[in-house]
Structure 1
Amino acid sequence: MSLTFLLTSLVIVATPGTGALYTLAAGLTRGARASVLAAFACTLGTVPHLVAAITGLAAVLHASGVAFNAIKYLGVAYLLYMAWSTWRDHGALSVDESAKPSSWRSVMVSGVTLNLLNPKLTIFFFAFLPQFVPAGPGSTTTMLGLSAVFMAMTFVVFAAYGACAAAVRDKVLTRPRLVDRIRKTFAASFVVLSGRLAVESR
C-alpha cells in the first residue's frame, strides 16, 4: 500500500462534506454515542459505491446520463429535506436527549441515505481506486483491501469530528440562542451542499 494512497485518502476524507457535517451535527445535538453511530452510518453508505466501482457498475452510471441524474436529484431532494427538517427542529438533527431505539434508527438511516444518494461517490471510486491497483491477477483483492482502508479512515476521521462536537455539547446546549444559530447554520449548509450536488456533472 503506497503512502500516496494513504495521504490522498486522508485529504479526501478529512475535507468537510455532507458526511462530516452530518456527524458533527449528530455529536453536537445528541452526544458522543450518536456521533459514532453517524460516522458508522456514513461509512456504511459508501459500501454500495465501492461495490459499484469494483464490479464495473460505475462505468454504466458514468455512461448513462439518465441514471446519474436520477440518483443525483434524489440526493438533492434528500439534502433539501434534511435542511428543512433541521430548520424546523424536527428529524435526526434536532436537539434530542433521548436514547430511544427509534432515535438511533433515525441517525443511522439518515447517515446511510446521505451518502447512498450521492452518485459522485461512485464515479470518484471508479476513477480513484484503480490508480493504485496494479493490473493482473489479484487486482480485485487489492481493490477490496484499499476500499477497506478507505472506509476505516472515513469512520475514524468522522468519529473524531463527532467526538469534538460532542465535547462542547454541554456548553452549547446551555445557550438556546447559540443552539438556534447552529441549527440554522447546519440547515443552510445542507442547502449549499444540495446546490453543489445539483450542478455536478459526470
Structure 2
Amino acid sequence: MDATTLFAFSLAFAIAAASPGPGMAAVVARGLGGGFRGAFPMVLGLVVGDLVYLSFVTFGLAALAQRFGTVFLVVKWAGAAYLLYLAVKLWTAKPNPDEVRAAAAQGFVRTLLAGLSLTLGNPKTMVFYIALLPTLVPLERMTAVGFAELVGIVMVLLTAIGSAYAAAAAGAREMFRSPRALRRLNRTAGTVMAGAAAAIVAR
C-alpha cells in the first residue's frame, strides 16, 4: 500500500482512537482503580476488538466495493450523521465523576476480555471503520501485505493511545474526578467527532 494512503489512515485512526469514548473511559476507570498495570490488559482487549472489526469490515466491504457503490454513499452519510449525534451528546452531557470511579483490580485475562467485549458491543467502533476505510483505503485492491500494514498501524497506535490514557489516569487520579475536567474532556471529544463527521462528508 502506498505511503500516502497509510499516512492518511494512520492520521484518521489516531484521531478516532484518541477521541474519548466508552473504551477509553473504561481504561481511565481501570487506571484510577488499579494503576497502569491494572489498565493495560484493558487496552490489549480494545486492540483485539478493533482487529476483529478491522478484519470483518475490510474483507466484507472489499467484496461489496466492486458491485454496490451506492451502498457506500449511504453508509458514509449514515456514519457522519451518527458521529454528529455523538458529538451533540458529548457537548450536552452532564459530567458525573462517579462514572469514572475507581474500579477494583481484576485478573489479566478477565480485564482483557472486558476490553474485548466492550469494543465488540460498541457501535461507534464499527461506524468508524465503516466510515473511514472506504474513503481512505482502496478496498477493491486490498492485498495481504496491505492488510498486514493496517493491522500493524491499529496495534501500534491504539496500544500507544490507550497506554497514554492509562498512564494519565494512574498519575493524575484527582483530575479525572473533577466535573470541570470531565466537561472539558466531553466537549473536546465532541469537537473531534464533529470534525470527523465533516471530514467524512467532505470526502
Using structure 2 for the length normalisation, give the TM-score: 0.65
Would the aligned equivalents of 1:27 and 1:162 in 2 still touch at CA under 8 Å? Answer: yes
Question: Within 5 Å, which residues of 2 pair with 1:1-202?
Answer: 4-5=2-3, 9=6, 12-13=9-10, 16-22=14-20, 25-30=25-30, 31-57=39-65, 60-61=68-69, 65-78=73-86, 80-81=88-89, 87-89=95-97, 94-98=100-104, 99=106, 104=115, 107-109=118-120, 112-118=122-128, 119-127=130-138, 143-173=143-173, 175-176=174-175, 179-199=178-198, 200-201=200-201, 202=203
Give the distance between the partners of 1:20 and 1:183, measured in 2 at CA. Answer: 15
Deviations 1:114-171 (A, max 9, x none): 23113431323443x66xx5xxxxxx6xx13311321232122211222233223232
- Give the 3 Å change call, closer, same or farther, for CA 52–86 of structure 1 in structure 2: farther
Give the distance between the partners of 2:197 and 2:57, measured in 1 at CA. Answer: 19
Would the aligned equivalents of 2:5 and 2:136 in 1 still touch at CA under 8 Å? Answer: no
Give the distance between the partners of 1:89 and 1:125, measured in 2 at CA. Answer: 37
Q: Alpha carbon RMSD of aligned pairs, Å? A: 3.8
Q: Secondary structure at the match of 2:68?
A: helix
State the shift of 1:83 in Å: 6.2
One-letter amino acid of the counterpart of residue 194, structure 2: G
Paired-residue identity, %: 10
- Give the 3 Å change call, closer, same or farther, for CA 116–8 of structure 1 in structure 2: same
- Give the 3 Å change call, closer, same or farther, for CA 61–193 of structure 1 in structure 2: farther
Q: Secondary structure at the match of 1:17?
A: helix
Give the distance between the partners of 2:98 and 2:120, measured in 1 at CA. Answer: 15
- Give the 3 Å change call, closer, same or farther, for CA 64–177 of structure 1 in structure 2: closer
One-letter amino acid of the counterpart of residue 145, structure 2: G
- Give the 3 Å change call, closer, same or farther, for CA 58–125 of structure 1 in structure 2: farther
- Give the 3 Å change call, closer, same or farther, for CA 179–170 of structure 1 in structure 2: farther
How many residues matched?
184
One-letter amino acid of the counterpart of residue 20, structure 1: A
Deviations 1:10-69 (A, max 9, x none): 564256312233465543332222222223333433334312442143763556644432
